[in-house]
Amino acid sequence: MNIILLGPPGAGKGTQSARLVEQYGMHQLSTGDMLRAAVKAKTPVGLEAKAVMERGELVSDEIVSALIDAELGAMAPATGAIFDGYPRTEPQARALDAILERHGRKLDHVIELEVDEDALVDRITGRFTCANCGAGYHDRYHLPKVDGVCDRCGGTEFKRRPDDNEETVRMRMQEYRAKTAPILPVYDARGIVSRVDGMASIEDVTKALDAIVS
Ligand code: AMP
């Protein structure tokens, strides 16, 4: 099974991918995570991507498609793939078709998480994660049970993404509307798009995804 999770920043793609990974043993391919790792490791890709990401703009199609190609190539053929944050442009969607074909895979579902943009700014600007295990929290909606201590692993260090500020979030949404939303009709024409209410609770979104993929 190979699926794309589509939706603007903060729609819940990362959260839901993690749940699919846990439930179905699929593998999450997040270009955002790969790029953040490259920035941290100061690789040539990271050095090129850092400023672009801080502005909320898109990194080049060639870079992200090469990252996806390499990661897919390293996966066992039987393991399902969840594409999270990729493709984000029409050239990336075309590249993904070619990459999937090369790796003997086919696209089963494109799932769009539909959300309200103003609510997203509120969601994104309050989010933070445990620096140790990556568990997600929120200043207003989901604080750790014990102040400053991760519920999952007991870690005491937390981090925030540098691009989770209002100005950058608005730019990331603009990029989504201008460059990513236009790829949906291509998948619609193939009859593989499902739409899910991304404003529902995390549990309810997971249930809706389950119904699509199982
Ligand atoms: P994300 O974690 O998916 O929100 O991505 C964070 C940032 O990484 C984006 O704002 C872009 O600058 C960059 N990025 C991630 N995925 C892509 C992609 N598929 N194409 C271009 N840029 C990307």
Contacts of range 172-177, beta carbons closer than 8 Å, 24 or more positions apart: 172/8, 172/9, 172/56, 173/8, 173/9, 173/117, 173/120, 175/56, 175/57, 175/58, 175/88, 176/8, 176/9, 176/88, 177/8
Which two three-digit tokens encode residue 171? 């730019």
Greatest C-alpha distance within the chain: 49
3-state secondary structure of 123: helix
Distance 25 CA to ligand 1 centre (A): 24
Mean pLDDT within 64-82: 96
Query: What digits encode the pLDDT tens for the residues 17-32?
Result: 999 999 999 999 999 9
- 72/117: higher pLDDT: 72
Over 90: is that where the pLDDT of 214 sits? no
Q: Which residues pair with 112 in a beta bridge?
A: 6, 195
Over 90: is that where the pLDDT of 119 sits? no
Mutational test site, ligand 1, from 53, 90, 96, 113, max ligand atoms within 8 Å of CB: 53
3-state secondary structure of 143: coil
pLDDT at residue 13, as a whole number: 93
pTM of the model: 0.91
Query: What digits encode the pLDDT tens for the residues 46-71?
Result: 999 999 999 999 999 999 999 999 99
Give the residue whose CA is nearest to atom 8 of ligand 1: 32
Mutational test site, ligand 1, from 50, 59, 89, 161, max ligand atoms within 8 Å of CB: 59
